[in-house]
Structure 1
Amino acid sequence: MTKTCLIIVDGLRYDTAVAECGYLAASVEAGLARLWKMQACLPTISAPLYETIHTGLAPVDHGILSNEAIRPSQRPNVFSQLKVAGRNTGIVAHSYYHTLYGGSAFDPFEHTEINDPDQPVPFARYYSMEGYSPENSCMPSDVDLCAQTWRIADDHAPDYLLLHMSACDTLGHWFTADSSEYRIQAWKSDNALSRLIPRLREAGYDVLVTADHGMNADGHHAGNQPCLREVPFFAFSETITAEASSVLDQRAIAPTILSLIGTDAPDTMTVSPLI
């Protein structure tokens, strides 16, 4: 059984991660982590893929197909399975995750901070980005999100901890994936992670770093371009055993997390874990 932290860098393309994320690349070079290319499911839209990552089902199977149609998860997922198994979970993430896994639609005045063992996710810090636009990106600092993640890890030691960072996606939308702003933000996210991941590893966590989808030259994502479907999958774990040349299936993340923590995957998760 291994405590596990999944980090989702929203909108981070595989090629951008390889080119710009110097800390993650250095960790691979030093043998502290391994890197694979992973293929995201379709449509390459955030909320559908948050649900894919946690249910092991493609969007056409779990039924969430757009950000505008988000609702509480109706399928067995990482959070529900761990709750039944008596395990603890924590989240630092966009408010969509509360709607999906927190038991109700997100209310910023009620759900921004949760510390309640009876809740579906007992320890959580959510951000809304309400009013986000090209004139006001409303994105939280990656370092602040990493610090909040560490506080939950250090104070509560959840078996599963999720960190979701939105800045790459935000700047990709406003400036496109071909911009210096997007590329530099990929490095800034990586730089923040260089201050968090060593702490998590020292605290006994396996750490997985990936993205929900990529970004294209139009500042958009949803379709079937390689730049949208090819995302990185970094594993700070001695247990992940996929072949180095494999292109991994995004649906394998959920059963892999449950396997690392020592909990059985439900029958709905049909893709084999990466273990």
Structure 2
Amino acid sequence: MQNKVILVVLDGLNQQVAREGMGYLNGLVEQQKATYYPITSELPSLSRPLYECLLTGVTPIESGIVHNHVVRLSHHESVFSLAAKQSLTTAAAAYHWVSELYNRAPYDAKRDRHTHDQSLNIHNGIFYHWDHYPDEALFLDAEYLRHHYDPDFLLVHSMNIDDAGHRFGLNSAQYRNSARYADVVLSDFMPTWIAMGYQVLVTSDHGMNDDKSHGGLLAEERQVPLYVAGKGFSHQSADIKQTEICGLICQLLGLEHHKLFNPQCLL
């Protein structure tokens, strides 16, 4: 199987908030145009460790990326590196930590914010280093990359929900409304992606707690959503682990790989 894949990571999105507040994504599920799966994040439930988990299938304890201040390139094969080695085109509109994991570390905004280099794992990138970088700008960056470079794999990574959580906490109107707004922004793009035949995954790295943080074992910190849309998915009931999302993407892309994935999720 070979498809073009878009992975959307809505940083810091708690599962319950997604299920209760994101009308567009859940409307797709209700109309049987997408499928929802509950996911439990790996530990520690922190951003940089879980970017690595999502994109390599390796747990933080195994990867050594165990907190947000481990600034170095990944030591493992990622969706980006596997795709690049097998002559597929990659792109990312994402927070700068993704660039540090898979392209160059440390991030230099003057050099790396706009990246177009076929020798790197992420060939085409628009990276940002502001947690409040607007979601609407981020999705426009992603669309620019999709239109101009036609990537086989595109990562779209938003920070506004996480930023609101760190400022106001899980049980706040600001956090919930940030999730609702991301859902509205996503609704401007997903219909086109689905109509064009992309396989789309929308998930999060971790959730959020009432202390305006995350990192531990609380359900609200670990329980996150996964929505999938596209004809490459089976849309059947399945138990999916966060460590299997990388393998699912590799399988959809038709890559040769040794990543774990649940075959029940795919046609």
When normalised by structure 1's length, the TM-score is 0.92
Percent identity at matched positions?
30
Superposition map of 1:179-258 within 5 A:
179-241=172-234, 243-244=236-237, 246-258=238-250
Distance 1:70 1:248 in 2: 29
Distance 1:3 1:54 in 2: 16
Q: Which residue of 2 aligns with 1:121?
A: 122
Task: Kindly report the root-mean-square deviation, in angstroms, between the aligned alpha carbons of the 2 structures.
Answer: 1.3
**Which amino acid is 1:158 matched to?**
P
Cα deviation 1:156-205 (Å, max 9, x = unaligned): 11010000000000000110000000000000001000011112223331
Superposition map of 1:48-59 within 5 A:
48-59=49-60
Question: Is contact 1:56–1:271 with CA below 8 Å preserved after alignment?
Answer: no
Question: Is contact 1:41–1:59 with CA below 8 Å preserved after alignment?
Answer: yes
Q: Please, which runs of 5 or more residues in structure 1 have no aligned partner?
A: 130-137
1:154 aligns with 2:147: yes
When normalised by structure 2's length, the TM-score is 0.95
Cα deviation 1:189-238 (Å, max 9, x = unaligned): 01000011112223331110000000011111000111111100000123
| Structure-2 change in CA distance of 1:228 and 1:74 (3 Å) | same
Superposition map of 1:15-54 within 5 A:
15-54=16-55
1:261 aligns with 2:253: yes
Question: Is contact 2:29–2:36 with CA below 8 Å preserved after alignment?
Answer: yes
Q: Which residue of 2 aligns with 1:104?
A: 105
Q: Please, which runs of 5 or more residues in structure 2 have no aligned partner?
A: none
1:174 aligns with 2:147: no
Distance 1:122 1:221 in 2: 32
2:93 alignment partner, SS class: strand
Distance 1:203 1:242 in 2: 18
1:4 aligns with 2:5: yes
Question: Is contact 1:150–1:200 with CA below 8 Å preserved after alignment?
Answer: no
1:60 alignment partner, SS class: helix
Distance 2:235 2:20 in 1: 23
Distance 1:70 1:16 in 2: 31
In structure 1, which of residues 128, 131, 139 is the aligned counterpart of residue 132 of structure 2? 139
Structure 1 runs of 4+ with >6 Å offset: none
1:68 alignment partner, SS class: coil
2:110 alignment partner, SS class: helix
Cα deviation 1:126-167 (Å, max 9, x = unaligned): 0012xxxxxxxx511111111111111111110100000000
Distance 2:192 2:71 in 1: 34
1:121 alignment partner, SS class: coil
Question: Is contact 2:240–2:262 with CA below 8 Å preserved after alignment?
Answer: no
| CA positional deviation for 1:271 | 4.5
Question: Is contact 2:197–2:231 with CA below 8 Å preserved after alignment?
Answer: no
Question: Is contact 1:147–1:196 with CA below 8 Å preserved after alignment?
Answer: no
Distance 1:270 1:32 in 2: 26
| CA positional deviation for 1:242 | 6.5
Distance 2:34 2:100 in 1: 32
Distance 2:260 2:180 in 1: 35
**Which amino acid is 1:194 matched to?**
S
1:103 alignment partner, SS class: coil
Q: Which residue of 1 aligns with 2:67?
A: 66
**Which amino acid is 1:44 matched to?**
S
Length, aligned pairs only? 264
